[in-house]
């Protein structure tokens, strides 16, 4: 019997490299669902748009256990209820199985819906290291119709930071005075260290003049704006993936291991709050994310 021809060495090397890359991509997608960087439904949309993709080749069992609050027992019950074999991959689910799985998720874990009303008060928040500051600066430099609010802070200026432009740098006594005078729309102690707050008067003036105002603040601040100005538009900036967020956090290289671990835990909790926001924008590239945020103002 003639021996089957072997694929050339280069092809095999390329194929195994591809297999490793797809496996890695699947692991990364599972983390994205586990950390709530993407919804389970979003992963299904990707799997069904391209069954040959990493998402499409994910096993249904791995998909379900990646979802927060679904363990192995619950997973097995769900598979039995939906009549799906545990060896199935997402891209290989039949049309009825797809409909049932989708309905199950929509009922248990409804995706947040973008809200319809728009306000000219725009709040940009998101997890640590997602790049809020960079996106906000890009909007300030490229969308002159939007006023970027300048916060007051008790931290000291970093090299290159200009008082009145990046922040109003104030001491503790002055910050206390601003609070007492009700001059801040919101304020918070960030990273357990310094206080930051949004001066109210410039925002009221800009809104009265018909301009759009953008606040780049932390999560506690966003919640305060929500209760002080319920029609404000709250935007949550998401990383393209959990791995990418970890890279950005660690990439700064300025914190020790314990501080990094603390920041990752914080980021995880912060991501879990995205349902409180009106819109989610992925910071894949700064100009694109900035344009999407700016467009929400119209
Ligand atoms: P940084 O010290 O790196 O400039 O800012 C640290 C954090 O403070 C960022 O997460 C930023 O969003 C937040 N921040 C800046 N200004 C304000 C503010 O006026 N209010 C609140 N609540 N957070 C702010």
What is the distance in A from the centroid of ligand 1 to the CA of 7? Answer: 57
153 annotated among ligand-binding-site residues = no
| CA-to-CA dists, residue 105 to 79, 80, 192, 231, 285, angstroms | 13, 15, 37, 29, 30
- pLDDT given for residue 262 in this prediction: 85
* Fold held by 11-108: Helicase, Ruva Protein; domain 3 (1.10.8)
| CA-to-CA dists, residue 223 to 103, 203, 229, angstroms | 31, 17, 10
Residue nearest atom 12 of ligand 1, based on CA coordinates: 217
Give the range with max mean pLDDT: 159-163, 248-252, 256-260: 159-163
Q: Judge whether residue 297 has pLDDT over 60.
A: yes
132 annotated among ligand-binding-site residues = yes
Q: Any idea where the domains of the chain sit in the sequence? A: 11-108, 121-296
Q: Element (H or E) spanning 15, and its range?
A: helix 9-34
Mean pLDDT of the chain: 93
Residue nearest atom 20 of ligand 1, based on CA coordinates: 197
Is 121-296 in the same CATH topology as 11-108?
no
Q: Which atom of ligand 1 sits closest to the CA of residue 167?
A: 16
Q: Which atom of ligand 1 sits closest to the CA of residue 155?
A: 2
pLDDT digits (tens, 9 = 90+) for 16-68: 999 999 999 999 999 999 999 999 999 999 999 999 999 999 999 999 999 99
pLDDT digits (tens, 9 = 90+) for 212-235: 999 999 999 999 999 999 999 999
- pLDDT given for residue 79 in this prediction: 98
- pLDDT given for residue 270 in this prediction: 94
| Of 93 and 4, the one with more pLDDT | 93
Q: Judge whether residue 6 has pLDDT over 90.
A: no
Residue nearest atom 24 of ligand 1, based on CA coordinates: 217
Q: Judge whether residue 2 has pLDDT over 70.
A: no
Task: Please compute the mean of the pLDDT values over residues 153-171 and round it to a whole number.
Answer: 96
What is the distance in A from the centroid of ligand 1 to the CA of 34? Answer: 27
Reading phi first (left if > 0) and then psi (alpha if -120 to 50, else beta), residue 57 is in: alpha
What is the distance in A from the centroid of ligand 1 to the CA of 217? Answer: 5
51 annotated among ligand-binding-site residues = no
The HSE-up count of residue 227 (CA atoms within 13 Å, CB side) is 7
- pLDDT given for residue 250 in this prediction: 81
Q: Residues 265, 191: contact at Cβ < 8 Å?
A: no
Residue nearest atom 17 of ligand 1, based on CA coordinates: 217
pTM reported for the whole predicted model:
0.87
* Confidence band for 251, pLDDT divided at 50, 70 and 90: confident
Task: Please compute the mean of the pLDDT values over residues 183-199 and round it to a whole number.
Answer: 95
Q: Ligand 1, residues 165, 190, 234: which to mutate, most atoms within 8 A of Cβ? A: 190
Dist. CA 58–CA 27, nearest whole Å? 9
Q: Is the CB of 221 under 6 A from ligand 1?
A: yes
* Confidence band for 116, pLDDT divided at 50, 70 and 90: confident
* Fold held by 121-296: Rossmann fold (3.40.50)
* Confidence band for 3, pLDDT divided at 50, 70 and 90: low
CB contact burial 186-211 (16+ within 10 A = b; e otherwise): bbbebeeeebbbbbbeebeebbeeee
């Amino acid at each position: 019997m003639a021996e089957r021809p072997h694929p050339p060495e280069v092809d095999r090397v390329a194929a195994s490299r591809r297999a490793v890359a797809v496996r890695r991509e699947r692991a990364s997608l599972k983390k994205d669902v586990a950390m709530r960087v993407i919804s389970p439904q979003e992963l299904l949309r990707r799997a069904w748009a391209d069954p040959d993709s990493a998402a499409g080749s994910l096993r249904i069992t791995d998909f379900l256990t990646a979802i927060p609050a679904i363990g192995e027992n619950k997973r097995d019950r769900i598979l039995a209820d939906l009549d799906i074999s545990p060896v199935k991959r997402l891209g290989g689910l039949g049309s009825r199985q797809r409909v049932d799985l989708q309905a199950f998720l929509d009922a248990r874990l409804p995706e947040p819906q973008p809200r319809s009303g728009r306000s000219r008060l725009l709040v940009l928040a998101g997890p640590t290291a997602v790049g809020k500051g960079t996106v906000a600066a890009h909007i300030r430099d490229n969308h002159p119709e939007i006023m970027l609010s300048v916060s007051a802070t008790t931290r000291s200026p970093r090299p290159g930071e200009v008082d009145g432009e990046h922040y109003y740098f104030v001491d503790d006594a002055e910050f206390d005075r601003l609070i007492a005078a009700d001059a801040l729309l919101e304020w918070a102690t960030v990273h357990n260290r310094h206080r930051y707050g949004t001066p109210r008067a410039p925002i009221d003036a800009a809104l009265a003049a018909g301009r759009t105002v953008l606040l780049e603040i932390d999560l506690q601040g966003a919640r305060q704006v929500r209760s002080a100005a319920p029609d404000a538009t709250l935007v949550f900036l998401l990383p393209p993936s959990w791995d990418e967020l970890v890279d950005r956090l660690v990439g700064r290289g300025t914190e020790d291991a314990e501080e990094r671990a603390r920041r990752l835990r914080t980021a995880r909790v912060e991501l879990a709050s995205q349902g409180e926001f009106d819109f989610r924008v992925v910071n894949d590239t700064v100009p694109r994310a900035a344009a999407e945020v700016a467009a929400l103002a119209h």
